[in-house]
Structure 1
Amino acid sequence: MVATTRPVALVTGASSGIGKETARAFATAGFEVIGTGRKTSGLTPPAGVTYLDLDVASDESATAAVAEVIDRFGRIDVLVNNAGMGSAGAVEENSLAQAQSIFNINVFGVIRMTKAVLPHMRAQGSGRVVNISSILGITPQPFMALYVATKHAIEGYSESLDHEVREYGVRVLLVQPAFTKTGFDTNATQPDTPLPLYAERRRRVFDEGIAAGIEKGDDPAVVAKVIVEAATDKKPNLRYTAGPVASRVSKARRLVPARVFDQQIRKLNQLPG
């Protein structure tokens, strides 16, 4: 082990998009940075970033990755749980197996990684776990119910866990992006049991609506900056919105009457009634 005097950040899903920009931002902020991906061989990491293979859907892989980072660097100060997958389709169009697969990465992947680092963070008396939620962690989005459900789960898990570990010097925080210029829409899991009666609505809401939002969305560097802020704030907030759209939606969810908010969701998604 070669212990480092610099703080150490472990960023999952760092081979592209938000994760890659986050790894870059931590390196710029003076961190020793380990970025992970399922297959990182042949990829060029940002300057100051070390890549490590990790499958967050595997108990053994999660445990081994955390152990390797501690063995190599002597500490983990920040874990950013960014790895995840999108999904499209009406609920009736997604099989139970597909739902389990999405939850295994988006929810249980976060739980695996968090459980792996917590004993170390408690022992050193400090640490931050930053979980990448979404503005969809507090709002509905038709034809993306499985993805939305995973982000709602992460919201409840993170807030509850934060209360459990705060006395040990560890904080669990949430960052909520909105539309971001990544490959989210093209990489999203498509329904494995599609039904004709939903096809047109799904096309309008997801294939066109979500894709258009992403095209006009925030640069991943905007989200990365907020993640580093959450990891380094002396008096952190539980939740951080990333970008102006996320901020507006979060405020609307808190302040707008439920019936009005419901109607706005239907209007934005071109749904009748």
Structure 2
Amino acid sequence: MQTKIALVTGASSGIGEATAKRLAKAGYKVYGTSRRGQRAGQQSFDMLPLDVTSDASVAAAVAEVLRLQGRIDLLVNNAGFGVAPAAAEESSIDQARTIFDTNFFGIIRMTRAVVPHMRRQRSGRIINIGSVLGFLPMPYMALYSATKHAVEGYSESLDHELRTLGIRVSVIEPAYIKTPFDANLIAPDAPLDEYREVRSAVDKRVKEVVEGADGPEVVAETVLQAAVAARPKLRYTAGGLAARLRLLRRFAPAGLVDAGIRKDLRLAT
């Protein structure tokens, strides 16, 4: 059997690194990417420099994989970052554009660069790392939630368009994951005293929950499941909490879900 070629964005740490390692262990030839490219030390996958906010950088990285291997069978769009817990009005329009440029438009750039080659192959998988916040928005995470809602809608439309060409698209929906993700959080650039106390309280609560959360390997296993499935699903939750939240969103009364969110984050009713 021909070795399958995988391209994983944002693979320098966290979910991306765990995913690249798991795919390599499963037999894929994996190219991970980060803005810095190759790291020192041995690893089970190769690293390429890639900035998903740059058309030229995306084109160069995809061209390099095709030069080396002649094909791409799996694209995992993982690169992304968030804003530290903050009220929606505490981020400027420029900051909103910045997070969308990476978390959403980065996926579009990668997809547009890779799909023409998958079409010629008449086969391929695209797996987008979403979040439970893509179907259950979180207070004080409005911009991040909005990007993940956009990923959900884009992915579902794309899957309809591409499945007749032999290409399938899936979204992975983790909840809290214990990774260095918080190291890449940016502070709100228009903070207001009105929200200072609640912002701090929500940030503290999120950090408490993350400390006891699943590791990124849970997401990596789910990515592999979606990648190898004969009939892949559009959406996969990753981890027990994500699965429970999906069921709550689907079956629980809206008022109960609303109250549960506020109670968990210790927000005034």
- CA displacement 1:46-102 (0-9 Å, x = unmatched): 22x010000001011111111110111111000000000011211111000000000
1:212-251 → structure 2 map (5 Å cutoff): 212-251=208-247
1:98-137 → structure 2 map (5 Å cutoff): 98-137=95-134
2:199 is matched with which residue?
202
- The answer to whether residue 9 in structure 2 is matched with residue 5 in structure 1 is no
1:159 is matched with which residue?
156
2:136 is matched with which residue?
139
Measure the CA separation in 1 of the matches of 2:50 and 2:208.
31
Report the CA distance between 1:45 and its aligned residue: 5.5
Residue correspondences, number: 268
Kindly provide the amino acid, as one letter, of the partner of residue 239 in structure 1.
R
2:250 is matched with which residue?
254
2:265 is matched with which residue?
269
Q: Give unpaired runs (5+ residues) of structure 1.
A: none
- CA displacement 1:18-55 (0-9 Å, x = unmatched): 100100001000000000000024443622x0100000
Among candidates 58, 67, 73, match of residue 71 of structure 1: 67
Measure the CA separation in 1 of the matches of 2:25 and 2:182.
29
Q: Cα distance 1:41–1:9, how it changes in 2: closer, same or farther (>3 A)?
A: closer
Kindly provide the amino acid, as one letter, of the partner of residue 214 in structure 2.
D
Report the CA distance between 1:265 and its aligned residue: 1.2
Q: Give unpaired runs (5+ residues) of structure 2.
A: none
Measure the CA separation in 1 of the matches of 2:246 and 2:7.
28
Measure the CA separation in 2 of the matches of 1:227 and 1:44.
25
1:83-98 → structure 2 map (5 Å cutoff): 83-88=79-84, 89-98=86-95
Q: Cα distance 1:99–1:43, how it changes in 2: closer, same or farther (>3 A)?
A: farther
- CA displacement 1:198-239 (0-9 Å, x = unmatched): 01111111x211111211111111110100111110011110
TM-score norm. by structure 2 comes to: 0.97
Q: Cα distance 1:177–1:84, how it changes in 2: closer, same or farther (>3 A)?
A: same
**Contact 1:15–1:43 (CA<8 Å) still a contact in 2?**
no
Kindly provide the amino acid, as one letter, of the partner of residue 11 in structure 2.
A
Measure the CA separation in 1 of the matches of 2:42 and 2:200.
35
1:191 is matched with which residue?
188
Which consecutive aligned stretches of 4+ in structure 1 deviate over 3 angstroms post-superposition? Answer: 41-45
2:29 is matched with which residue?
32
- CA displacement 1:169-207 (0-9 Å, x = unmatched): 0011000011111122232111011101101111111x2
Measure the CA separation in 1 of the matches of 2:140 and 2:188.
10
Kindly provide the amino acid, as one letter, of the partner of residue 266 in structure 2.
Q
Measure the CA separation in 1 of the matches of 2:60 and 2:218.
31
